[in-house]
Amino acid sequence: MYTDQVLCPDSFPWRFSNIVASEKNLIEVMFSNDKIITNPNKITDLCKYQLNLYFSRELTSFSLPIISQGTVFSSAVYDELLRIPFGSTKTYKDIAITLGSPKKSRPVGHACSLNKISIIVPCHRVISSSGGLTGYAGGLKTKEWLLKHESQLKYKLTEY
């Protein structure tokens, strides 16, 4: 396994984004306040580069090789998350309907809670049917920060 770490912006609720990769795929991006020992490779380097661009408002779409996680259902949920446009949101129910299972909003939420590739697989873009923010592995402050960050950049990009 290879590891690296991105220093997050001061306004971000977490100090670091920790990156874990294999030789060929990104495996995990999780938040931490602790420094880790790094052992980078080309995948962690690319992820670190793209996360730095994302945090500095210069990147709206990631291009990283990721490894499929979990069950067939979870993988289908993650594929749908990757289709949510930058600066946009969908509800858990929207995703369940897209997957052909309109009554599976809760399993969609559960799959999101198990997502190990934060930000890159954008589970922060999924909200409740009422429009409210619900569960996020990094905490609701982090989810709110990410959505605000993306909406500000989306607005900036459409000004011109």
CB count within 10 Å of CB 151 equals 14
**Catalytic residue list contains 112:** no
| Token digits of residue 28 | 């995990």
Query: Active site residue: 8, 47, 112, 123, which one?
Result: 123
Nearest Cα neighbor of 29 from 13, 10, 43, 12 is 43
Please give the single-letter amino acid code of residue 97: I
How many CB atoms are closer than 10 A to CB 103? 9
**Which residues are known catalytic residues?**
123
